[in-house]
Structure 1
């Protein structure tokens, strides 16, 4: 088992009943990908997946980072995770 951290920024935007950043520590098995983590989060927060993804693509202006890098520049939802990784789910920012 490995332990990762997941942070959901702007949870209210994603339809979650919370304003502050949600921080979760998850125990994962070897070979887990970002997509697997999104599936797990969907079980905890129904509707999160459809507010973040269209099929297997991130909705434009949204992003998912692993250790400070967008998964767009890694392996997308297939990006593998390992001990100590930090996954950040980020809504669009406005000003």
Structure 2
């Protein structure tokens, strides 16, 4: 199954870009948000350490699936479906 991943504020996560990173991720059927993050960690070492503390998203950071926070779904165990959009959002100030 293929999903789209958008990483907002990638420089915050230690990535070498200031623009939103958009990529397609190929995962097995029934994959979860946690498994998608494991794959992203292989591509971008250190990403999970800036996003998670154990199995919890660091407060003020967000992970959304199709515009809905995983906090209101099943957290990192939220199942993904073909064509889903996973958004990783750092804390923003304003």
| TM-score interval, smaller chain | over 0.9
Give the superposition deviation at 1:43.
Answer: 0.5
Unaligned runs of 5+ in 1: none
SS at the partner of 1:35?
helix
Unaligned runs of 5+ in 2: none
TM-score by length of 1: 0.97
Q: Superposed, which structure 2 residues align to 1:31-70 within 5 Å?
A: 31-70=30-69
Partner of 1:24: 23
TM-score by length of 2: 0.98
Higher helix share: 2
Give the superposition deviation at 1:34.
Answer: 0.3
SS at the partner of 1:30?
coil
How many residue pairs were aligned? 94
- Structure 1 runs of 4+ aligned residues shifted over 2 Å read none
- Aligned Cα RMSD in Å? 0.5
